[in-house]
Amino acid sequence: MTALETYPIHVGQVTRHVPLVETLPGMKIPLIEFLGDVELTREAARLLAPKLPEETEYLVTTECSPVPLVHTLAEETDRGYVVARKRRRAYMDDPLIQEVPSLTLGSSETLWLDRRWAERLLNKKVALVSDVVSSGGTMKALEKLVAKAGGHVVARLAVFQQGEPKEDFEVTALYQLPIL
Amino acid sequence: MLGVVRSYPIEIGGVRRELPIVKVGEGVAVALLNLLGDTELTEAAARELAKRLPEGTEVLVTPEVKAVPLAHAISVKTGVPYVVARKTAKPYMINPVSREVVSITTGKPQLLVLDGADVERIRGKKVTIVDDVVSTGSTLKGLKELIESVGGEVVGVLAVFTEGDPRDDVIALGHLPLFKPEE
């Protein structure tokens, strides 16, 4: 077995040597995982907190990897948060639904938001929060979902932006992730 | 009765909530606990469960996704690391190990997957499983088998609530009854 190729990632005072994965032939990206990493999660939340506009009332994210980060940020900044799910759950009542346009054929994704949680966002100022944003497709879909719920997006935050930032969809990211 | 929301009152570590009672299948309704989005309740539950952590626990394992903030918060309070068992295999996983369980609630097969790096964090270790609600125990059984199949030793199970039939193999902060759906 060949040794795993790694790449050093810094978040504030925390350094991780993360695996480099080849997503397309000749294109490698560092693979960040916040799940299971309390130290990295807390450091990222600490650094994101000052980026949150004062007026923000709710944080909104998608399952699953950003959840501990958003929980920590919500607790630290005393805001509520809502998680859009990627599968319909049996208990969901009249959920809001938003398709995520797929980058590759046949792998589309759907975001689901139970009406009970959607109602919390009505007329609220919302910050979208993610761990890693690349094409921005998921975050764009999340923004549409928040609009359907009657919320107003005041910020788009991420720890990492992967690849070139999109001119028509600006995300405030702490760090750029290289494509190698 | 239209317009009347049925709910069930709970208290965890001094934090009170009215859980909505929702229908989840033919003839079955549950009191819906959702820790996602409720930092106050999550932190209170984590505080109480951290006190009850089985001695010798070296790693926590939780299924995605509702119990993830709880496992994170217990990990912060106890210093014991946590691992998330995913419900789908991800393309980026290296040497993942998986197990299929059939959910009694939905009747659908459910996959539990550990990434290879997480397998190494479990192998030879004393493991405590963390979940929000243990009901039929199908996820719990699948997770136990998965952990044991990669060489982990399950020393305990922590949950906020057990549900349905009382059980003594789970350390829980309370018990939720099942309900009949309203006609």
Q: Which two tokens stand for residue A85?
A: 């799910």
A7 near B CB under 8 A: no
Residue type, A11: V
**Chain B: residue whose CA lies nearest to A39:** B76
| pLDDT score of A68 | 97
For the cut 60, the answer to whether the pLDDT of residue A2 exceeds it is no
CA distance A174 to chain B (A): 22
Is residue A170 a contact partner of residue A143, using CB atoms and an 8 Å limit? no
CB contact under 8 Å between A75 and B30, yes or no, is: no
How many helices (H) does chain B have, and how many strands (E)? 4, 10
| A14-24 sheet: strands from edge to edge | A6-11, A14-24, A27-30
Provide the pLDDT confidence category of residue A33 given band limits of 50, 70 and 90. very high
A145: three-class secondary structure by DSSP: helix
Chain A residues with CB-CB distance to B75 below 8 A: 38
CA nearest neighbour of A67 among B111, B66, B173: B66
Provide the pLDDT confidence category of residue A175 given band limits of 50, 70 and 90. very high
For the cut 60, the answer to whether the pLDDT of residue A55 exceeds it is yes
Residue range A134-159, pLDDT digits in tens: 888 899 999 999 999 999 999 999 99
CA nearest neighbour of B173 among B139, B145, B132: B132
CA distance A29 to chain B (A): 10
For the cut 70, the answer to whether the pLDDT of residue A21 exceeds it is yes
Residue range A67-113, pLDDT digits in tens: 999 999 999 999 999 999 988 888 888 899 999 986 655 567 899 99
Provide the pLDDT confidence category of residue A26 given band limits of 50, 70 and 90. confident
Handedness of CA B46, B52, B54, B56 (dihedral sign): positive
Is residue B143 a contact partner of residue B84, using CB atoms and an 8 Å limit? no
| pLDDT score of A106 | 56
| pLDDT score of B1 | 44
ipTM: 0.90
The answer, yes or no, to whether the previous bond of A18 is cis (omega within 30 of 0) is no
Chain A residues with CB-CB distance to B43 below 8 A: 75
B32 near A CB under 8 A: yes
CB contact under 8 Å between B22 and A91, yes or no, is: yes
Residues of chain B with pLDDT under 50: 1-2
CB contact under 8 Å between A116 and B30, yes or no, is: no
CB contact under 8 Å between A80 and B83, yes or no, is: no
Number of A/B CB contacts below 8 angstroms equals 69
A33: three-class secondary structure by DSSP: coil
Residues in chain A: 180
CB contact under 8 Å between B37 and A81, yes or no, is: yes
Task: Spell out the SS3 assignment of A96-139.
Answer: EEEEECCCCCCCCEEEEECHHHHHHHCCCEEEEEEEEECCCHHH
| pLDDT score of B25 | 81
B81 near A CB under 8 A: yes
